[in-house]
Amino acid sequence: MSVQLGVNIDHVATVRQARYERNSGSINVEPDPLDAALAAERGGAVGITAHLRQDRRHIIDDDIFRLKDAISTKLNLEMGNTPEIVEIALRVLPADVCLVPESREEVTTEGGLDCVTFGASLEPTITAMREAGIRVSLFIDPEPNQIEAARSLGVPVVELHTGAYAEATGPARERELARLYEAACLASEAGIQVNAGHGLNYTNIAPILTLPKLVELNIGHSIVSRAVFVGIEQATREMVALLRS
């Protein structure tokens, strides 16, 4: 079976908020992330990913509730481990949540969650999500100690952070790919589903597809960028074709 694609629609909301953050009552508010999600589904996405940040810089609460009600695939809610966002997740009840680190200074999530250092604070959230029937994923760097921490926390899924691979060139990229390969092996041997994402695009995706037991990739910025020229549905369709090839 080919690797599946989840489409992150955050940056559709970024375009909307750039103009309408202070004028959300306008009848002209656009683009709507929900429209992008439905188009991505038509293009072959198996799920929609959206990150509800504490500062609401792109996705806002209403987006999450509307996505949950309207999409026909699954909602993967990316979130920081904060009481406010945890409470919202338990009201929305997405199929999946992916716990990520979050900094107000970053443009996008810049590193993996440190499950070794913060494992104790993650445990109550993971338990609450599990009891609510929500599958939990941890967004982590491809390091053996992070895989072991994820195993200890009992999560069913990890999403390997591919940012270092995406930014590297030449031998450095090969080293990053090797790190990802080892981490995927360790996770699958521990019975943990292997997902991956961050910085992936139409030109760097092929080597990632060699990772063992890889199930799903979550890609956003590159698809939204391509959609400027061909639309979300076609941009998604093109990425799905790469995953299948």
Per-residue pLDDT reduced to its tens digit, 129-185: 999 999 999 999 999 999 999 999 999 999 999 999 999 999 999 999 999 999 999
Query: At 129, which CATH number?
Result: 3.20.20.70
Predicted local distance difference test score (pLDDT) of residue 103 = 62
Q: Which domain holds residue 11?
A: 4-244
* Total count of domains within the chain: 1
Terminal C-alpha separation, the chain: 11
Hey, which residues are catalytic here?
51, 78, 198
Predicted local distance difference test score (pLDDT) of residue 102 = 83
Region 213-233 average pLDDT:
98
Task: Find out whether 242 and 202 touch, Cβ atoms under 8 Å.
Answer: yes
Predicted local distance difference test score (pLDDT) of residue 25 = 63
Predicted local distance difference test score (pLDDT) of residue 105 = 55
Query: In the predicted model, is pLDDT for residue 23 greater than 70?
Result: no
Predicted local distance difference test score (pLDDT) of residue 109 = 53
pLDDT tens per residue, range 172-205: 999 999 999 999 999 999 999 999 999 999 999 9
Region 217-240 average pLDDT:
98
DSSP 3: P
Of the chain, the percentage scoring pLDDT greater than 70 comes to 95
139 Cβ partners below 8 Å, 6+ apart?
A: 78, 98, 99, 100, 101, 109, 112, 113, 158, 159, 161, 197
Region 64-86 average pLDDT:
97
Task: Please give the mean pLDDT across all residues of the chain.
Answer: 95
Give 3-state DSSP helix, strand, coil % of the chain, rounded to 5: 50, 15, 35
Give this prediction's pTM: 0.94
Region 217-224 average pLDDT:
98
Task: Find out whether 108 and 100 touch, Cβ atoms under 8 Å.
Answer: no
Separation between Cα atoms, residue 210 and residue 118, nearest integer Å = 31
Separation between Cα atoms, residue 89 and residue 132, nearest integer Å = 10
Predicted local distance difference test score (pLDDT) of residue 1 = 75
Region 74-100 average pLDDT:
98
Region 6-29 average pLDDT:
86
Predicted local distance difference test score (pLDDT) of residue 151 = 98
Separation between Cα atoms, residue 174 and residue 196, nearest integer Å = 17
Separation between Cα atoms, residue 143 and residue 115, nearest integer Å = 11
- Confidence at 21, pLDDT banded by 50, 70, 90: confident
Task: Find out whether 219 and 197 touch, Cβ atoms under 8 Å.
Answer: yes
Query: In the predicted model, is pLDDT for residue 119 greater than 60?
Result: yes
> How long a stretch of residues is the chain?
245
Predicted local distance difference test score (pLDDT) of residue 110 = 64
